[in-house]
């Protein structure tokens, strides 16, 4: 399919070849850009903050799994205070 088209000697392709070469460069460039942006976003965000022992203890108390006295004893133990709960 070679011939004289518009005063230029050409062998097919033309617009389609130019579009193909554009894709050959744009797809890898887009993938690299997406990877860089993803890495930048993930560095700014930390994972879900882990629960502290106090948080877990408070949830257990709220669910009724432990008594008030047990809650206060364990809380004082975790915080390092020496006070005993009032009865």
Which pLDDT does position 8 carry in this prediction? 72
Query: pLDDT per position in the chain (87 positions), as tens?
Result: 566 667 776 666 666 677 778 888 888 999 999 999 888 887 766 666 788 899 999 999 999 999 999 999 999 999 888 665 555
54 dihedral zone (left: phi>0; alpha: psi -120 to 50; beta): alpha
Q: List the chain domain ranges.
A: 2-44, 48-87
Strands 8-11 and 2-5: antiparallel
Which pLDDT does position 50 carry in this prediction? 81
Query: First CA to last CA across the chain, in angstroms?
Result: 99
């Amino acid at each position: 399919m070679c011939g004289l088209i518009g005063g230029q000697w050409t062998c097919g392709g033309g617009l389609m070849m130019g579009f193909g070469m554009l894709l050959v460069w744009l797809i890898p460039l887009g993938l690299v850009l997406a990877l860089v942006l993803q890495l930048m976003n993930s560095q700014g965000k930390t994972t879900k903050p882990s629960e502290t022992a106090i948080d877990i203890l408070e949830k257990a108390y709220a669910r009724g799994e432990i008594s008030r006295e047990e809650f206060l004893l364990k809380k004082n133990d975790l915080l390092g205070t020496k006070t005993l709960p009032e009865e």
